[in-house]
């Protein structure tokens, strides 16, 4: 079972120094496993509806009045969003690297850069949704666009939560300093942030790239 009583040495990172810290980190991985299952059900819905309503089993499209995804998707914007989130995952990793060197100021700087990149991603996604709505693709247009907004919206909600969470953790580090407790919180919120990009890889691939090619 969980190694809560592992030996703690001078090289042990702060977030692993308390047994509660080790348990919390392990527990968060269990939570991430559940998040994978949640997103899998939404992807299942999306792919099934996509294959029926956009690809069409018999060679013709029947999206039910709305525009096709390939008519609205644009690779440039999607690629910029992908690179923003990927870079934010990288800078978040650098923040943890600095945290382990006890460079709190540098850690804060990388976390703030991570937040700004995440915010830029979110702003682009909101503008994308507004643009699609103007083109006649809203969550109520048809089954395809419902599943599209359900999937990208659930991911976008996770990004929003991640931004709020990380701001609160930054404030706590600012008030309390870097301790085994706050370091654990920074580390766990960084796992969550990496996970946002982990899911986005599959949204980018399965929704946008396939959507641009497959219809």
Where along the sequence are the contacts to another protein (CB under 8 A)?
A: 2-3, 6-7, 9, 11-13, 16, 22, 25-26, 29-30, 32-34, 36-37, 39-41, 43-45, 47-48, 51-52, 57, 75, 79, 82-83, 86-87, 89-90, 92-94, 96-97, 100-101, 191, 194-195, 197-198, 201-202, 204-206, 209-210, 212-214
Q: Cβ of residue 205: shortest distance to another protein, in angstroms? A: 4
Cβ-based neighbours of 120, under 8 Å, separated by 6 or more: 84
Q: Cβ of residue 156: shortest distance to another protein, in angstroms? A: 19
Q: Cβ of residue 145: shortest distance to another protein, in angstroms? A: 18
Separation of alpha carbons 165 and 159, rounded Å: 10
- Closest CB to another protein among 20 and 171? 20
Q: Cβ of residue 43: shortest distance to another protein, in angstroms? A: 4
- Closest CB to another protein among 89 and 142? 89
* Nearest residue to 73 (alpha-carbon basis) of 198, 175, 211, 178: 211
CA 186 to chain centre: 16
Separation of alpha carbons 70 and 167, rounded Å: 36
- Closest CB to another protein among 52 and 127? 52
- Closest CB to another protein among 83 and 123? 83
Q: Cβ of residue 35: shortest distance to another protein, in angstroms? A: 8
- Closest CB to another protein among 33 and 65? 33
Cβ-based neighbours of 214, under 8 Å, separated by 6 or more: 50, 54, 55, 70
Query: Tokens at residue 53, please?
Result: 């309503």
Q: What are the helix (H) ranges across 51-142? A: 69-72, 75-100, 104-134
Separation of alpha carbons 157 and 163, rounded Å: 10
Q: Cβ of residue 175: shortest distance to another protein, in angstroms? A: 25
Q: How far apart are the first and last CA of the chain?
A: 48
Query: Tokens at residue 191, please?
Result: 């796992």
Separation of alpha carbons 16 and 184, rounded Å: 7
- Closest CB to another protein among 133 and 212? 212
């Amino acid at each position: 079972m969980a190694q809560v009583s592992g030996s703690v040495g001078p090289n042990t990172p702060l977030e692993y120094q308390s047994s509660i810290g080790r348990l919390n980190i392990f527990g968060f991985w269990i939570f991430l496993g559940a998040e994978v299952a949640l997103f899998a059900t939404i992807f299942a819905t999306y792919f099934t509806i996509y294959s029926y309503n956009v690809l069409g089993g018999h060679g013709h499209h029947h999206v039910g009045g709305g525009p096709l995804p390939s008519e609205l998707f644009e690779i440039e914007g999607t690629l910029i969003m992908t690179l923003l989130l990927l870079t934010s995952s990288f800078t978040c990793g650098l923040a943890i690297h600095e945290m382990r060197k006890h460079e709190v100021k540098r850690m804060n700087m990388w976390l703030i850069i991570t937040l700004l990149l995440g915010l830029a991603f979110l702003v682009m996604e909101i503008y994308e949704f507004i643009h699609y709505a103007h083109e006649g693709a809203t969550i109520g247009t048809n089954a395809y666009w419902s599943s599209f907004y359900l999937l990208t919206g659930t991911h976008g909600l996770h990004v929003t939560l991640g931004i709020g969470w990380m701001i609160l953790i930054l404030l706590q580090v600012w008030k309390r300093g870097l301790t085994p407790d706050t370091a654990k919180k920074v580390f766990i919120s960084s796992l969550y942030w990496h996970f946002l990009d982990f899911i986005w890889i599959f949204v980018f691939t399965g929704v946008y790239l396939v959507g641009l090619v497959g219809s």
